[in-house]
Amino acid sequence: MSATAIATTATARSGEGRIGLRANLRHIGALVRRNLLQIKQDPESMFDALLMPVIFTLLFVYVFGGAVSGNQHAYVNYMIPGLMAMMGMNIAMAVGTGINTDFKTGVMDRFRTMPIARSSVLIAKIVVEVGRMLIATAILLVMGFILGLTVQTSVLHLLAAVALAMVFGASLMWIFTLLGLTMKSAQAVQGVAMIVLMPLQFGSSIFAKPTTMPGWLQGFTKVNPLSSLADANRNLINGGPVAHSALITLAWAAAITLVTAPLAVAKFRKKA
């Protein structure tokens, strides 16, 4: 690296702490636009958000619906709120692979010489992925309504369920961001993520009632945050007590963010 580049990099890093809130927001906005333009140039990157809700809904309703609830129609109201929790985890994984790919392709080399807050790069990615998660959730609900989903509470309760899923999903993105900054390749990020995702998703109340599971597995489902989120969404849509499960979900989201966000930002600053 030339002396000029080194000086520019040092200036950018030393100036990061003096970047004000308005400038930071402008940086985030510019980076969000950059990420959206990437999606526009590569529309195939939206396939997971567009197709995954359709495939999962059809697959689980018609494969497990009769066995779990006796008929597919009854299972829709049980499963769709649970799948809202599952969507967040699957979309969140894209943050880790995206960050890892940006480092491999040299995109981050450009950011090194720019006087921007390092956290703005990560926040911009999370903002875009939350948008993709919202699209996936909307498609999931449309599929649910087509298959017979009924909101037995109100539209506000449904929107609250969507918001709760977004908050929890955003917190998970910090975990995958940290994973993407730690692993050596995007394939490694996906491999480790699937090892974590599978037990959490299927060892929860997303697809079946925990009372039908073995005792040792019931203990795991009780502490699984996906169960809390699925139960909260289910009660928000179908009616029932919400406060306990919703507070547990929010507590998990806050704890995950408070622990992993600073670690991810620190790792990013060190690596970038």
Q: Which residue in this structure is represented by tokens 């039908």?
A: 212
Residue pair 198/191 in contact by the 8 Å Cβ criterion: no
The structural domains of the chain, with segments of one domain joined by +, span 3-271
| Structure tokens that stand for 251 in this block | 């507590």
> Could you give the CA distance from residue 217 to residue 199 in angstroms, rounded to a whole number?
10
Determine the 3-state secondary structure of 216 from DSSP: helix
| Structure tokens that stand for 106 in this block | 């040299």
Kindly tell me if the per-residue pLDDT of 247 is higher than 80.
yes
Q: Which residue in this structure is represented by tokens 């040299």?
A: 106
Kindly tell me if the per-residue pLDDT of 121 is higher than 70.
yes
- Percent of the chain topping pLDDT 70: 87
Q: How far is CA 201 from CA 35, 61, 82, 204, in A?
A: 28, 16, 9, 6
Binned at pLDDT 50, 70 and 90, residue 7 comes out as very low
The average pLDDT across 102-106 equals: 75
Residue pair 94/129 in contact by the 8 Å Cβ criterion: yes
Higher pLDDT, 7 or 272: 272
